[in-house]
Chains A and B, each alone.
Chain A
Amino acid sequence: QSALTQPRSVSGSPGQSVTISCTGTSSDVGGYNYVSWYQQHPGKAPKLLIYDVTKWPSGVPDRFSGSKSGNTASLTISGLQAEDEADYYCCSWAGRNTWVFGGGTKLSVL
């Protein structure tokens, strides 16, 4: 159960778009369409942003979008806003009812 690989940090200016990658293997990200993304502000619980690679839970703006190609999933945030500054984590089902998270990416809005 090795952690998925995410960049440690990304940054962008208000209004711009940023993309966060999440690389796994054929046993997790590449093998199933069960990748989810979570946003976590300091001292707060994670919040589900994207599930099943591309789906939005109720209440999440469509500025957040997900995709996957091979063993790499991506989260794109368009129209960056100051409140998007947070940590972002990907997660993938890894079969046999086990899950693996990415190491997290800190998004800075300049």
Chain B
Amino acid sequence: EVQLVESGGGLVQPGGSLRLSCAASGFTFSDIWMSWVRQAPGKGLEWVANINQDGSMKNYGDSVKGRFTISRDNAKNSLYLQMSSLRAEDTAVYYCAKYLGRNFDYWGQGTLVTVSS
């Protein structure tokens, strides 16, 4: 059974940093592109970033480019999102998602990040 479990969310002040983690199981993690998608409270979904199988290719949404860094550790079956220069508008539930081709077929339950003073 595929499982994606996010952690690392919490309250952070504007301008601060936070690192999210996603522990994956139930599939061959090193074979799969992975992604982060977020959802602001009461709002829609927004694609944030993705990374290829060996971490050599990374892509970012315009709203986080230059501030967020996606990475992975295939030995630990883990995906990460390093977030810096956080803004109030980054407040959201952050989901880790697994790719099926060019679609997201499994999602974690999400971790809430709140940016507030």
Q: Which A residues lie at the B interface, using CB under 8 A?
A: 1, 3, 32, 34, 36, 38, 44-48, 51-52, 57, 89, 91, 93, 96-104
Would B59 and A104 count as touching, CB distance under 8 A? Answer: no
Q: Total contacts A to B, CB within 8 angstroms?
A: 66
28 A-B residue pairs with CB within 8 Å: A1-B62, A34-B101, A34-B102, A34-B103, A45-B107, A46-B95, A46-B104, A46-B107, A48-B100, A48-B104, A48-B105, A48-B106, A52-B102, A89-B44, A91-B47, A91-B104, A93-B102, A96-B59, A97-B50, A98-B59, A99-B47, A99-B50, A99-B102, A100-B47, A101-B46, A103-B44, A104-B44, A104-B45
- Which interface class (under 10, 10 to 19, 20 to 34, 35 or more) fits B? 20 to 34
* Contact, CB under 8 Å: B95 / A45: yes
| Closest chain A CB from B75 CB (angstroms) | 24
Known: A38-B104, A51-B101, A52-B101. A45 touches B109 (CB 8 A): yes
Q: Does B10 sit at the interface, judged by CB under 8 A?
A: no
